[in-house]
A and B are shown apart, each in its own frame.
Chain A
């Protein structure tokens, strides 16, 4: 179990996180918040890159700063931006990181090729990474996070640069992995979180404001999300003035607006819609 207890963090005079408390057990947690809300800071606190100003983080009841190497041994971490050596092949790079992680040499090569296969890079295992695309580099990053027997997997924007097929593959993988480990997934791609995560953690104004399942969160907007087809720009403008627009799209020559309203607008063609997590995200952080 990972316990974050009353943790606060500031950069200079700017308070970034304020009194965050969470208890996490095996499962997949999505971490949602807008830019600058403190997602990366929270993840870095968990992996001991940062020290909290107040509060503490415990792993199975013991402070992680004191556990040191034995705690870091069980972490798999993918940073939002990570460095890699262009002159290395994925195998060489993962071999180096395996040494840093203290993975035993026995069976290491097989493990490396196995994770590369998992992320779909076994064909280019011996190709120097300077020839890789951004998405391929990202997959190498995911591979290194999956290496080793980590009990705690921290992934910061893992699907950035991945195509839809790879993203789907990745979602299935971490869903599988979350059965017997804690997986924290920080992302802007709400649909990734919605489809796989057990619980969603949402940060706002430096505090943790939600810690529930996606369905429970979505139920907050039940009966408050509508769609309407508008024919003229004036109609669209009037609607935008009155209500909070969630999305707009063009379809067969007319615009379909999706909007949030406490009460139905009473407009012709208005249709009640089941809310999704993105609707909640937009409403919460408007």
Chain B
């Protein structure tokens, strides 16, 4: 344990770790969809969630429609949006501007009900949904109908959907970068300094190679945790937590049905778990790449395509975990979203164990 701790200290050099932390924070703040939250549309939904909670029932929906009429009156009656001069006046008035976005949000909710992708507030499938169900597998159709018939209308803004689609990919990229920055120089350091003679002749012996790999895996997991924590902090700071309990099934017009009833918060936690797995796997990839190289650039040249292919593959499999978007059954979608990352991790762990055992027998020249 002591040696493992020392190896971790070599890995997490203060300058490098701090730089990586700042880079991750900067990237999240500058690029993520969460950082742009709430835009004006999101603010309208925020108001709705504060007023009605994470979902709408029938009575609340009727109240909402009445509220829409009031907003439209405040804005100048029907046809308010067509007059350009009037529009400029509305935009200049803070409260009237908010009415515009509330009306937009309510009209979007009406549209969701009309198209009924993944859910329908009326508890009966709409014509559009019926047509969709005809092209589904029996399991899919059954699941969608279940959502339709038992769910209330989830109140989520388009921003939440965009966060779900784009931020996990950004987090994955940051974790892959983190693994490269921390692990490649660490693995190459001892290789280039030729410290193996000294290390292997001590009590810890050839176990040092195992400990190094474990330290790398720990680094990958740590990078994932840190990225996830930073993202959660940003979510909290930007007020996204208000949507934490909003059901994820049937979000917006895209209406992604999920096999399991997840809230937005649960969805994010599921993604964090996958991210940690991805981090450990990426760490092992980097460690193997460094083992085969003599310099940082060669290691990076090997690691870059490996990480890119891995990242693309993992994201393609787990882009929207536990959804039935791909026309497969629940076990198949579970395999796709959780089984594939686990399999890849297991394969890489096995590969690194084989390499280590070969290492254990080789002569240290």
Say if the beta carbon of B131 comes within 8 Å of chain A.
no
Q: Are A82 and B195 in contact (CB under 8 A)?
A: yes
Say if the beta carbon of B189 comes within 8 Å of chain A.
yes
Q: Are A81 and B205 in contact (CB under 8 A)?
A: no
In B147-177, the 8 Å CB interface with A consists of none
Distance between A9 CB and nearest chain B CB, rounded to angstroms: 9
Known: A48-B201, A68-B205. A83 touches B364 (CB 8 A): no
Q: Are A49 and B200 in contact (CB under 8 A)?
A: yes
Which residue of B has the minimal Cβ distance to A47? B201
Say if the beta carbon of B2 comes within 8 Å of chain A.
yes
Contact residues in A for B195 (Cβ distance below 8 Å): 82-84
Cβ 8 A contact of B193, one of A44, A83, A96, A99: A83
Distance between A147 CB and nearest chain B CB, rounded to angstroms: 10
Q: Are B197 and A49 in contact (CB under 8 A)?
A: yes
Say if the beta carbon of B194 comes within 8 Å of chain A.
yes
Q: Are A49 and B364 in contact (CB under 8 A)?
A: yes
> Bound state CA distance, A269 and B240, in angstroms?
102
Contact residues in B for A68 (Cβ distance below 8 Å): 205
- A50, A73, A81, A96: most-surrounded residue (chain B CB, <10 A): A96
> Bound state CA distance, A100 and B208, in angstroms?
8
> Bound state CA distance, A205 and B363, in angstroms?
22
Q: Are A83 and B198 in contact (CB under 8 A)?
A: yes
Q: Are A96 and B204 in contact (CB under 8 A)?
A: no
Which residue of B has the minimal Cβ distance to A145? B198
Say if the beta carbon of B95 comes within 8 Å of chain A.
no
Say if the beta carbon of B135 comes within 8 Å of chain A.
no
Binary per-residue interface labels of chain A (140-183) against chain B in the complex, 1 for a CB within 8 Å, 0 otherwise: 00001000000000000000000000000000000000000000
Q: Are A99 and B189 in contact (CB under 8 A)?
A: no
Q: Are A44 and B364 in contact (CB under 8 A)?
A: yes
Q: Are A73 and B203 in contact (CB under 8 A)?
A: yes
Distance between B11 CB and nearest chain A CB, rounded to angstroms: 13
Q: Are A49 and B6 in contact (CB under 8 A)?
A: no
Known: A50-B364, A51-B363, A85-B189. A102 touches B198 (CB 8 A): no
Q: Are B190 and A83 in contact (CB under 8 A)?
A: yes
Q: Are B198 and A72 in contact (CB under 8 A)?
A: no
Cβ 8 A contact of B363, one of A50, A69, A87: A50
Q: Are A102 and B197 in contact (CB under 8 A)?
A: no
Contact residues in A for B208 (Cβ distance below 8 Å): 100
Distance between A99 CB and nearest chain B CB, rounded to angstroms: 5
Contact residues in A for B196 (Cβ distance below 8 Å): 83
Which residue of B has the minimal Cβ distance to A70? B203
Say if the beta carbon of B355 comes within 8 Å of chain A.
no
Known: A44-B364, A100-B3. A75 touches B194 (CB 8 A): no
Binary per-residue interface labels of chain B (180-204) against chain A in the complex, 1 for a CB within 8 Å, 0 otherwise: 0000000001101111111111111
Q: Are B202 and A101 in contact (CB under 8 A)?
A: yes
Distance between B2 CB and nearest chain A CB, rounded to angstroms: 5
Which residue of A has the minimal Cβ distance to B9? A96
Say if the beta carbon of A260 comes within 8 Å of chain B.
no
Q: Are A144 and B363 in contact (CB under 8 A)?
A: no
Distance between B64 CB and nearest chain A CB, rounded to angstroms: 63
> Bound state CA distance, A265 and B201, in angstroms?
52
Contact residues in A for B198 (Cβ distance below 8 Å): 77, 79, 82-83, 97, 100, 144
Distance between A80 CB and nearest chain B CB, rounded to angstroms: 9
Known: A82-B198, A83-B190. A100 touches B363 (CB 8 A): no
Q: Are A100 and B189 in contact (CB under 8 A)?
A: no
In A31-85, the 8 Å CB interface with B consists of 44, 47-51, 68-69, 72-73, 75, 77, 79, 81-85
Q: Are B193 and A101 in contact (CB under 8 A)?
A: no
> Bound state CA distance, A144 and B201, in angstroms?
12
Q: Are A100 and B190 in contact (CB under 8 A)?
A: no
- A50, A82, A87: most-surrounded residue (chain B CB, <10 A): A82
Q: Are B205 and A96 in contact (CB under 8 A)?
A: no
Which residue of B has the minimal Cβ distance to A46? B201
In B193-241, the 8 Å CB interface with A consists of 193-205, 208
> Bound state CA distance, A84 and B2, in angstroms?
19
Distance between A50 CB and nearest chain B CB, rounded to angstroms: 5
Q: Are A101 and B194 in contact (CB under 8 A)?
A: no
> Bound state CA distance, A97 and B363, in angstroms?
21
Distance between A178 CB and nearest chain B CB, rounded to angstroms: 20
> Bound state CA distance, A235 and B201, in angstroms?
54
Distance between B98 CB and nearest chain A CB, rounded to angstroms: 56
Contact residues in B for A77 (Cβ distance below 8 Å): 197-198, 201
Contact residues in A for B2 (Cβ distance below 8 Å): 99, 105
Distance between A106 CB and nearest chain B CB, rounded to angstroms: 13
Cβ 8 A contact of A100, one of B193, B202, B364: B202
> Bound state CA distance, A84 and B322, in angstroms?
49
Binary per-residue interface labels of chain B (318-352) against chain A in the complex, 1 for a CB within 8 Å, 0 otherwise: 00000000000000000000000000000000000
Q: Are B203 and A49 in contact (CB under 8 A)?
A: no
Q: Are B193 and A84 in contact (CB under 8 A)?
A: yes
Q: Are B201 and A81 in contact (CB under 8 A)?
A: no
Contact residues in B for A50 (Cβ distance below 8 Å): 363-365
Distance between A30 CB and nearest chain B CB, rounded to angstroms: 20
Q: Are B201 and A99 in contact (CB under 8 A)?
A: no
In B1-20, the 8 Å CB interface with A consists of 2-3, 6, 10, 13
Which residue of A has the minimal Cβ distance to B191? A83
Q: Are A49 and B363 in contact (CB under 8 A)?
A: yes
Distance between A234 CB and nearest chain B CB, rounded to angstroms: 49
Contact residues in B for A83 (Cβ distance below 8 Å): 190, 192-198
Distance between A169 CB and nearest chain B CB, rounded to angstroms: 23
> Bound state CA distance, A105 and B194, in angstroms?
26
Other contacts beyond A49-B201, A101-B202: 6, CB < 8 A: A44-B363, A49-B364, A69-B203, A79-B197, A83-B195, A99-B2
Could you name 12 residue pairs across A and B whose Cβ atoms are closer than 8 Å? A44-B363, A48-B205, A49-B363, A49-B364, A51-B361, A68-B205, A79-B198, A79-B201, A87-B13, A100-B204, A101-B203, A144-B198
Top 3 nearest A-B pairs (CB, nearest first) are A83-B193, A83-B195, A102-B203
